[in-house]
Amino acid sequence: FQGFVPGMFGVSHGALQFMAYEEMKNRYNQYRNLPIDIKLTSLEYLTFAAVSKLLAAGATYPYQVVRARLQHRGARYRGAWHCVRDTWRYEGCRGFYKGLKPSLVRVVPATMVTFLTYENVSHYMLKRSELNASYAGT
């Protein structure tokens, strides 16, 4: 089970992202007094996808920095806690977010396209399923 706990932080990124995305969509529709499963505009989906990715990255990026530093061949860390202590001691909070901006420039647009595609295909398939069910019932 060595590495299990640090690995859980990596998994948490996707969980946080999907949770934030769905929660934003639901609250937005509640605010507008609409059903939570109503189809939104592309801009709304893109916005929720981008914000959810930013939130998840902000919460979990320090894990990725520590993991990358531990995997670096020239690293002289005795373990994850040693890496965390040294990063905090010599670089402060900023040290845990080195490389975040270029990472976000790369992953946010991909996330936006992925979520928009998912939502549009999902609504298309649901509508198609409903049409097939209505034809079967007649």
pLDDT tens-digit series, residues 62-114: 988 888 888 887 778 888 889 899 999 999 999 999 999 999 999 999 999 99
Sequence-distant (≥ 6) Cβ neighbours of residue 103 within 8 angstroms: 57, 61
- pLDDT for position 52: 98
Q: Pick 137 or 97 by higher pLDDT.
A: 97
Q: Is 94 exposed, middle or buried (0-12, 13-18, 19+ CB in 10 A)?
A: exposed
pLDDT surpasses 80 at 12: yes
Q: Which domain holds residue 14?
A: 4-137
Q: Which two tokens stand for residue 57?
A: 């990255």
Q: What is the CATH number of the domain that holds 18?
A: 1.50.40.10
- Whether residue 23 has pLDDT greater than 90: yes
The total number of structural domains that make up the chain:
1
Using the Cα atoms of residue 8, residue 14, residue 18 and residue 23 in order, give the sign of their dihedral.
positive
For a pLDDT cut of 70, what percent of the chain falls above it? 93
* Nearest alpha-carbon partner for 58 in 110, 18, 109, 103: 103
Distance between CA atoms of residues 58 and 14, nearest Å: 12
4: confidence class by pLDDT, cuts 50, 70, 90: low
